[in-house]
Homo-oligomer: A and B are copies of this chain.
Amino acid sequence: MPKQAENDKKGDRGGKRRATSYDVARLAGVSQSAVSRVFQSGASASQDMRERVLAAANELGYRPNAIARGLITQRSNMAGVVISKQTNLYYPEVLVQLTQRFSEHGVRVLLFALEHEGDTQSVIDQMLQYQVDGVVTAAMLSEAQLAVLKQAQIPVVLFNRALPDANVNSVRCDQEEGERWLVGELVAAGHRRFSIVSGPADSPVSTERTAGALRRLEELGIDNVNVVVGDYGYESGRAAMASILSAQKPDAVIAANDAMAIGCIDEAREGFSLDVPGDVSVVGFDGVGPARFAAYKLCTVRQPVGRMTEAAVSMLLERIENPALSSEKRVFSGERVHGGSARLSSG
């Protein structure tokens, strides 16, 4: 164990403390306030001092301590971002884009990933403890939790999670409109026997999509729609399709997302030797990457992720700057992708 000696080096200045503004001030022969002022934008400092301070800072490798700064300014410059496993897996770019856009405005992202859309309570606690300036959440928060955040004066933007009544900011894709379009196209092309593969019952997005599709189908005089519940995953799409096809023979299957739609197609082809879209049309929702693969060419509705993340970030930043702003809901239409997985009247 002579290694012990190495550890002890720590005693002899191996762990030299990070340089503080006082260290820089001493080296530059100025006051600590001066250093602080040089490292801010709107502060007054003579050219001479600025140079001396920067030189000293550079020599010491000084970097302002954002923690200390946050304590005194009451601004952490951190935004809490909450995602659920689901969200991130199907839309990895959401997170990347949010982070990049925040970063362009000098805001860091403190990330929270939920296994399932439960235990949000500890997440709320953590975010409050870390004094985030605002929150973007792609996971459902309860009204009570939103109230806690509001009470703490922390603006929140819900991402694809609008509450009908609550007075909260939100950005979302118009799920219902998208489904209505899909149904309309399918019916116009002559489809009459529909099946739906929904997402998990506790997913508001799935509820909206399924309800939207059913409503439109009803309007068009189609009923007897078989609804099978999936979990948004590929395998569950296959399972759902297997169950659907063993029971009946629909001419169109509406899946609540692309992953399941792809599962449906694979199962129809591999498990039942059916042609898609010849024997059965399949449509999805989301417009994720694999939807474009030649084997599927999904007919789907693509969420305008870029515009949505931009809207979320700018809405949040505006409200951090001006907490008095009233709340706002922004709804984006999805992009209609014909693809080839559904037999449509040529549009």
Contacts and interface: CB of A to CB of B under 8 A. Distances in A.
Interface stretch (A28-36, A104-112, A180-188, A194-202): A104-112
Contacts of A26: none
Given A100-B113, A326-B7, A234 B293 contact: yes
B67 A289 contact: no
Nearest to A76: B67
A68 interface: yes
A18 interface: yes
Given A70-B67, A103-B112, A131-B65, A88 B78 contact: no
B108 A113 contact: no
A318 interface: no
Contacts of A15: 153, 323
A125 B85 contact: no
Nearest to A108: B110
A320 to B, nearest CB: 14
Interface stretch (A49-57, A91-99, A170-178, A214-222): A91-99
Contacts of A129: 63-66
- Give this chain's copy count: 2
Contact of A324 (B10, B68, B96, B152): B10
Interface string A285-324: 0000110111110000000000000000000000000011
Interface string A107-129: 01111110100000000011011
Contacts of A290: 289-290, 293
Contacts of A64: 129
Contacts of A89: 92-93, 96, 289
Interface string A260-295: 001000110110000000000000000001101111
Q: Which of A15, A18, A64, A324 has the largest number of chain B CB atoms within 10 A?
A: A324
Contacts of A189: none
Given A95-B88, A130-B108, A71 B67 contact: yes
A52 B71 CA distance: 27
A162 to B, nearest CB: 20
A47 interface: no
B131 A112 contact: no
Contact of A96 (B88, B148, B151, B270): B88
A68 B130 CA distance: 9
A165 interface: no
A41 to B, nearest CB: 15
Given A110-B109, A112-B103, A326 B126 contact: no
Nearest to A131: B67
Given A15-B323, A63-B129, 19 more contacts: A10-B323, A15-B153, A65-B71, A65-B131, A67-B67, A67-B71, A67-B131, A89-B289, A95-B111, A99-B112, A108-B130, A109-B110, A109-B111, A109-B112, A234-B289, A269-B294, A290-B290, A290-B293, A295-B296
What 5 A-B pairs have minimum CB-CB distances, sorted nearest first?
A295-B295, A266-B294, A92-B92, A99-B113, A66-B129
14 contacts: A15-B153, A67-B71, A78-B130, A83-B96, A88-B92, A88-B95, A95-B113, A99-B112, A100-B115, A108-B110, A108-B111, A108-B130, A269-B294, A270-B294
